[in-house]
Amino acid sequence: MQVARLYDFGDIRLEHEPRPALGPGEILVRARACGICSGDIMPWYIRRKAPLVLGHEPVGVVEEVGAAVTEFRRGERVFVHHHAPCFECASCRRGEYVQCATWRATRIVPGGMAEYFVVGAHNQRDTLRLPDTVADADGVLIEPAACVVKSLRRSGLRPGESILVIGLGIMGMMHVVLARHRGAGRIIGADLFETRARRATALGADAGLVVSADSLAEQVREATGGAMADVVIVGPGSGQAIAQGIAAAGKGATVVQFTATPPDDEMILKPHDLYFNETRLVPSYSCGPDDTREAMALVERGVLRAADLVTHRFPLGRVAEAYAMAQKPESLKVIVTFAQ
């Protein structure tokens, strides 16, 4: 079978390797589509994992089931989450699934950008059958959408509250769409690129700001009549972006760090201001099984649609080109499709 293996940032090779063997409790999935994650195009993040077969947003068809598998059958179309929890540890009992040791250890083998991949018994706990009404491209949105579902839940966003979304790539756009769906009041998108700012307003934002390094807080002040934002979602993975998000937050606001920052990145904060403004800084990392199920329901109802968010599709043979396209500002979601 063919796999897309990353050796370094931008160095992706289409290789051949044997189809993976199947254990008694495992299922083999024939891939139909897989998205390129925004984390896949962060050099510091992806390099530490190389070499690896890319892809953790896959949709496929069950090709084969192990002798001990009872929940899935050959021919079923599925979304597969690359991490799944044990549901038994202290972290799982608190609903903090991403802190579960099993969640962190699980994965799909060899990865989503392979013609076939194996789903172990643990991962089957967060493998969902796709309704016929959900197209492959829409199914690819489930995992990234679940991350946004979790982010907005952790933000505590309530109907009528204002929200600022910093960074209008695919994840920022989904924050805009789902914030509108959740009844947010004023939604403000902010990005360095005017095309993205305009797209955000088309998807439901009340304002799309084109910002420079130092202009964000003042632009938000003007857009909110001085109140600033009740919730701020910081998409870019940098301490500077988080600091800008805090500066744009109103009193009693919540700022969500949505993306990991490099280990050596630093941020200058004034605890004095955080304390008296009662600003909450909350991280939101990945998603759990409750989030994937809510995300699938949103996709099934058409709240999130590939037609609005998937801007480019490439066959597996052009995966390097797809990876390069995913880095360009005119792209939202880039997916790789497989011959049927």
Q: Look at residue 46 in the predicted model and tell me its pLDDT.
A: 92
Q: Look at residue 273 in the predicted model and tell me its pLDDT.
A: 82
Q: What is the pLDDT of residues 257-314, one digit of tens each?
A: 999 999 999 888 888 888 999 999 999 999 999 999 999 999 999 999 999 999 999 9
Please, are residues 262 and 241 in contact by the beta-carbon 8 Å criterion? no
Q: Look at residue 186 in the predicted model and tell me its pLDDT.
A: 97
Q: Look at residue 134 in the predicted model and tell me its pLDDT.
A: 97
Q: Look at residue 297 in the predicted model and tell me its pLDDT.
A: 98
Regions of the chain short of the pLDDT cut 50: none
**Cβ–Cβ contacts within 10 Å for residue 254, how many?**
22
Please, are residues 116 and 55 in contact by the beta-carbon 8 Å criterion? no
Residues 236, 209: Cα–Cα separation, whole Å? 15
DSSP β-bridge partners for residue 14? 4
Q: Look at residue 270 in the predicted model and tell me its pLDDT.
A: 81
Residues 66, 226: Cα–Cα separation, whole Å? 61
Q: Look at residue 265 in the predicted model and tell me its pLDDT.
A: 92
Q: Look at residue 328 in the predicted model and tell me its pLDDT.
A: 95
Q: Look at residue 266 in the predicted model and tell me its pLDDT.
A: 86
Alpha carbon dihedral 324, 325, 331, 332, in 10-degree steps, equals: -70
DSSP H/E element including 252:
strand 249-257
Residues 233, 97: Cα–Cα separation, whole Å? 21
Going from the N-terminus, what domains does the chain have, and what CATH number goes with each?
2-141+304-337 (3.90.180.10), 146-283 (3.40.50.720)
Residues 15, 32: Cα–Cα separation, whole Å? 18
Strands in 280-337 per DSSP E? 280-283, 310-315, 333-337
Q: What is the pLDDT of residues 76-91, one digit of tens each?
A: 999 999 999 999 999 9
Which is nearest to 223 in space by CA: 257, 254, 190? Answer: 190
Residues 287, 96: Cα–Cα separation, whole Å? 9
Residues 196, 216: Cα–Cα separation, whole Å? 16
Which is nearest to 252 in space by CA: 220, 229, 271, 219? Answer: 229
How far does Cα 195 stand from its chain's mean position? 21
Which is nearest to 63 in space by CA: 108, 17, 32? Answer: 32
Q: If DSSP codes are grouped into helix, strand and coil, which group holds residue 207? A: strand
- What is the DSSP code string of 55-118? -SSEEEEEEEE-TT--S--TT-EEEE-S----S-SHHHHTT-GGG-HHHHH---BS-SSBSEEE
